[in-house]
Amino acid sequence: MEASERIDALRRENGELRQLNEELRQRIAGLEEHGLHLHRALEQVLAFSSRLVRTSDTDSLYRECTAIGRSLLELDFFSLMTLEEDRRALVIRDARGFPDSMIGTYSLVEGQGLATWVVTHRAASTVLDFADEDRFEIPDVVPGHGITSAICVPMMIGEEVFGVLIGHSRRRRRFSDEDVALLQSFANQAAVAIRNSMQMEAIRHREILLETIIETIPHPVFHKSPDGVYLDCNRAFAEFLGLEKEQIIGATAHDIAPAELADVYQEADQQLLGGRVRQQSYETRVRYADGTLREVIFSKAVYCEAGSTTPAGMVGTMLDITELRMAEKRLARRKAEFEAIFNAIKDAIVFVDMERRIIAVNPAFRAMFGYNLDEIAGRTTKIFYANPDEYHHQGKVRYNPDARPESMVYEMHYRRKNGEIFPAETMGGQVRDDTGRIIGYLGVIRDITERKKAEEEHLRLQQQMQHVQKLESLGVLAGGIAHDFNNLLMAILGNADLALVRMSPASPARPNLLAIEEASRRAADLCRQMLAYSGKGRFLIEALDLNVLVEEMANMLQISISKKAVLKFNLSDMVPPIEGDATQLRQVVMNLIINASEAIGDRSGIISIATGAMDCDRDYLVDTYLDENLRPGLYTYIEVADTGCGMDSETRMRLFDPFFTTKFTGRGLGMSAVLGIVRGHGGAIKVYSEPGRGTTIKVLFPVTEDAIPRSDSLNGCQGTDWLAGGVVLLVDDEETVRSVGR
């Protein structure tokens, strides 16, 4: 029994030993298989590392990474995801097991899936069963593809997360630490490889871009070694030389250019490569393939290798400026021509900017305004406007971008440097650049002072001519009426005298006849005034001394003026005689004195009477009443001045109009008669008057050398010589006059 029990016990122990041996054998076999798997995985990683050096295509790297990663851990699904530039989302760059449509389109943001959790925590992680996972939101792709477990590691470059490698398994699988370490090592290598590939692609793209830019530059570009050998060039450089690029690369300047030009290029290159300068630009001549010499500008610069100061080569460009130089010469000629025209124009020219600040003026402007350019450059044109308000008005109306673009002509008053104001005609225009943008304004100013004077003189002469014509027509009318009416009055007076002779002094009709006679004589006086106005009065011409004439009238003049007016005489000692009618001239003096007295009125005032002689030229006579082409020369004058109320311009204009009067009563024939008498004597009248400043009237008479000596008798006959008897012959065209003489 004991032996049987001992045998059973040995059998049980042997069975247990066999079971333990089998388990040990299986474990050893598993370890051998795992070791073999690790060995194969390490071989794959090492093979991948060796291919990193040879692979520069990023998309190919993506594909290889996912293939190796899936194989390393024998996974059903494997993906490579990278962060976007803004680091907000992970995007699938390549995947195994998933549809290709997810590549480049499927993305996850923070909180979605295991991949974003790994990025956020910067650490690898695994999922045994997604059904038990609560760290993040489970993406739909997981249950959609029957995924149970997962492993994910960050792709690190230094301390930065570049992306993730994530593998999925349909069966429930617990990933070991060795699995995680292996995948992490592979991920780090993949991150470096992908980053390097991306950088190499960027460099390659930049090289292609730079090469494209250089080739498309229309100007020649070249690249030289430190010893002056051409390393590369663009198509424009080859075309300029008339060679192929292959003929240029490897050659020197002496191989492709004339010796005299090559020496210039070589010397410039040596200065640049010798370290004295890093950049240079110089102008020289080159011979094109067609044999023509062209003006060009070379711009060159040296470059050094990283960490070195020794030039490793140079790059340069060549700009053909032949057309530019020719254009500059044409522009210089045009500028010279413009300046010649600008300086030769007699009108003032000023160029201003948009703010109306003065930029340039021509010599005519300096002569017209008195300013040199340095005195007014940068100042606004307001400096020479006579009226500041007009300056602002013109700025709104003309000198603004909305004004009409065509030239504008307008009249303006300007102020010279010395303060003198003058009228000018201005033509303003906008100045535009090649794009049509307004860059300033040009003003052409013409001094029209003389033209204005000529226009005023022309207007004055027209008005004077009209006035003369009016006076002439009125004079003809008045003369005709006065002549005919005077004949009628002679008949009336003659018959009245005869009736009085024949009538008894006691006759009751005698007073009536006397009244008729008095009225007729007054009417005759009026006729004489009208004849005087018309210039057809009967003058008794004799040599007259105006001083004597005025002195003889002194008492009568004193009686004629207001009691408050003081009469002053200023008679010159040297007054040449004139030929005239004393009676008519007395009427002139009397009219002037009476008008002066009435101008003073009830106030105190002074009336001055002056005589003298003066030389009168055409400029003086042209402003007189009436300038009927009076000859220049010596004139004697009577001048009557008062301190009365004066006259405005309208009154002065109508002063000599017949029947014009400023008095409540009066016929308005006084000054018109004065003008007629003066005209009849070949003289003129000068009037000075302003409201409140009194009036001065100067009456001019021409001096004649052969003046008739004054006498108290006619033809030497005394009054007593007329006492005689005989027959009188009366001749008249009026029957009524002849009847009186019977």
Is pLDDT larger for residue 361 or for residue 727?
A: 361
pLDDT per residue as tens digits for the range 557-583: 777 787 888 889 898 888 899 888 888
pLDDT per residue as tens digits for the range 601-660: 888 889 999 999 999 888 888 888 776 678 888 999 999 999 888 888 888 888 777 767
Question: In this structure, what is the dihedral angle of CA atoms 337, 338, 343, 344, given to the nearest 10 degrees?
Answer: 60
Please say whether the beta carbons of 661 and 667 come within 8 A: yes
The percent of residues in the chain predicted with pLDDT above 70, rounded, is 80
pLDDT per residue as tens digits for the range 267-325: 888 888 776 677 888 888 877 767 778 888 888 888 887 777 778 888 888 888 888 88
Q: What SS3 state is found at 558?
A: helix
pLDDT per residue as tens digits for the range 390-417: 888 877 777 766 666 555 678 889 999 8
pLDDT per residue as tens digits for the range 59-101: 888 888 898 889 888 899 999 999 988 888 999 999 999 999 9
CATH number among 3.40.50.620, 3.40.50.10490, 3.30.450.20, 3.40.1190.20, domain 345-447 = 3.30.450.20
Fold (topology level) of 453-521: Helix Hairpins (1.10.287)
The percent of residues in the chain predicted with pLDDT above 90, rounded, is 15
Please say whether the beta carbons of 658 and 533 come within 8 A: yes
pLDDT (0 to 100) of residue 717: 46
For 17: left if phi > 0, alpha if psi spans -120 to 50, otherwise beta; the answer is alpha
Residue spans per domain, the chain = 35-203, 217-326, 345-447, 453-521, 539-712
Does residue 165 carry a pLDDT above 90? yes
Average pLDDT over residues 520-547: 71
Question: In this structure, what is the dihedral angle of CA atoms 550, 555, 556, 561, given to the nearest 10 degrees?
Answer: 100
Is pLDDT larger for residue 261 or for residue 569?
A: 569
pLDDT (0 to 100) of residue 281: 84
Reference 681, options 561, 581, 588; nearest CA is 581
pLDDT (0 to 100) of residue 500: 77
pLDDT (0 to 100) of residue 164: 93
- Report residue 116's pLDDT band, with 50, 70 and 90 as the boundaries: very high
pLDDT per residue as tens digits for the range 499-510: 777 787 878 877
Q: Which residue reads 């492709």 in tokens?
A: 256
pLDDT per residue as tens digits for the range 474-495: 666 666 676 677 777 777 777 8
pLDDT (0 to 100) of residue 55: 60
Question: In this structure, what is the dihedral angle of CA atoms 481, 487, 490, 495, given to the nearest 10 degrees?
Answer: -120
| CA–CA distance, 511 with 505 (Å, rounded to integer) | 10
Determine how many CB atoms are found less than 10 A away from the CB of residue 311.
18
Please say whether the beta carbons of 55 and 189 come within 8 A: no
Please say whether the beta carbons of 621 and 632 come within 8 A: yes
pLDDT (0 to 100) of residue 716: 43
35-203 CATH: 3.30.450.40
pLDDT (0 to 100) of residue 51: 55
pLDDT (0 to 100) of residue 153: 94
pLDDT (0 to 100) of residue 610: 93
Is the backbone peptide bond immediately before 626 cis, with ω within 30 degrees of 0? yes
| CA–CA distance, 497 with 70 (Å, rounded to integer) | 164
- Report residue 166's pLDDT band, with 50, 70 and 90 as the boundaries: very high
Average pLDDT over residues 539-552: 83
Is pLDDT larger for residue 601 or for residue 695?
A: 695
Tokens linked to 148:
């149970």
| CA–CA distance, 681 with 683 (Å, rounded to integer) | 5
pLDDT (0 to 100) of residue 641: 92
pLDDT (0 to 100) of residue 139: 92
Does residue 137 carry a pLDDT above 60? yes
Is pLDDT larger for residue 652 or for residue 713?
A: 652
| CA–CA distance, 164 with 161 (Å, rounded to integer) | 8
Which run of H or E residues covers position 391? helix 388-397
Fold (topology level) of 539-712: Heat Shock Protein 90 (3.30.565)
| CA–CA distance, 395 with 489 (Å, rounded to integer) | 73
217-326 CATH: 3.30.450.20
Q: Which of 33-37, 113-117, 285-289, 589-593 has the highest mean pLDDT?
A: 113-117
CA distances from 489 to 332, 475, 517 (A): 92, 20, 9
pLDDT per residue as tens digits for the range 208-227: 888 888 888 888 888 888 88
| CA–CA distance, 549 with 554 (Å, rounded to integer) | 9
pLDDT (0 to 100) of residue 119: 92
Average pLDDT over residues 254-278: 79
Fold equal for 453-521 and 539-712: no
DSSP string, 336-361: HHHHHHHHH-SSEEEEE-TT-BEEEE
358-361 and 348-352 as β-strands: parallel, antiparallel, unpaired? antiparallel
pLDDT (0 to 100) of residue 609: 92
- Report residue 715's pLDDT band, with 50, 70 and 90 as the boundaries: very low
